[in-house]
């Protein structure tokens, strides 16, 4: 049976993540002695802010696991070791489909692969992202009808800071105003939507 819907608005809701990297000069004193990477966090739809080195390291490690990026995982581990950090990692076991089985998840992780590659080719950027507490990951959902939500700041950055919403007349306007958290002088942005 084929069902046809006429005049029905439909959408595919999903998570939205803004990854914000401080542009400040990296301070090596911020490198921790130890990182506990558990790969058991769910980075999805909830409205959260992640700013600790462990949270951000878990995020990118989970992306690499979910996307089967074995060479990138090895590179990441080598970079962490080179920085003098002792780190623990979960045992990487493949399931019956050949995927790396971890208990955590990054919703639509594949969208973050370009960001992972960018971090791994630029050690300064990797360090600024992981070890500067001002560098953060904002998570949320596109079900939120608040264009000023923190999870949208990186999307606004793709539009020179402008975000969507209704103007003073109640009209829909995709370039209505500058996102209140948009700060291109101090941050680089990466948006993960879907």
Sequence spans of domains, the chain? 15-151+188-192
Distance CA 24, CA 64 (A): 26
Angle at 120 between CA 116 and CA 124, to 5 degrees: 115
By the 10 Å C-beta count (0-12 exposed, 13-18 middle, 19+ buried), 164 is classed as: middle
Per-residue pLDDT band at 81 (split at 50, 70, 90): very high
pLDDT at 9: 40
pLDDT in tens, 100-145: 889 888 888 899 999 999 999 999 999 999 999 999 998 887 666 5
Distance (Å, whole) CA 33 – CA 85: 5
Q: Mean pLDDT across the chain, nearest whole number?
A: 83
Which pLDDT does position 12 carry in this prediction? 52
Among residues of the chain, what percentage have pLDDT more than 90?
Answer: 45
Q: Is 5 helix (H, G, I), strand (E, B) or coil?
A: coil
For residue 148, the model assigns a pLDDT of 56
Q: How confident is the model at residue 192 (pLDDT cuts 50, 70, 90)?
A: confident
Average pLDDT over residues 23-42: 93
Average pLDDT estimate for 31-49: 90
Residue 82 burial (10 A CB sphere; 0-12, 13-18, 19+): exposed
Q: Quick one: which H or E segment has residue 40?
A: none
Determine the Cα angle at 96 with ends 54 and 41, to 5°.
Answer: 20
The string of pLDDT tens digits covering residues 152-191 is 766 777 777 777 766 667 676 665 667 767 788 898 988 8
- Alpha carbons within 13 A on the beta-carbon side of 42: 6
Position 54 scores a pLDDT of 97
The answer on pLDDT for 48 being more than 70 is yes
| C-beta of residue 194 within 8 angstroms of C-beta of residue 17 | no
């Amino acid at each position: 049976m084929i069902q046809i819907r006429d005049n029905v608005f439909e959408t595919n809701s999903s998570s939205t993540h803004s990854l914000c990297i401080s542009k400040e000069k990296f301070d090596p004193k911020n490198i921790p002695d130890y990182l506990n990477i558990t790969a058991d966090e769910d980075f999805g739809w909830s409205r959260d802010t992640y700013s600790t080195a462990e949270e951000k390291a878990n995020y990118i490690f989970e992306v690499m696991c979910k996307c089967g990026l074995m060479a990138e995982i090895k590179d990441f581990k080598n970079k962490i070791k080179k920085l003098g950090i002792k780190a623990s990692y979960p045992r990487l076991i493949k399931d019956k489909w050949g995927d790396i089985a971890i208990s955590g998840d990054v919703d639509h992780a594949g969208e973050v692969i370009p960001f992972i590659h960018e971090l791994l080719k630029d050690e300064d950027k990797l360090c600024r992202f992981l070890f500067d507490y001002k560098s953060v990951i904002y998570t949320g959902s596109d079900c939120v009808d608040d264009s000023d939500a923190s999870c949208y700041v990186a999307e606004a950055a793709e539009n020179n800071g402008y975000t969507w919403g209704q103007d003073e007349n109640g009209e829909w306007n995709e370039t209505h105003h500058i996102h209140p958290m948009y700060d291109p002088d101090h941050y680089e942005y990466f948006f993960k939507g879907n």
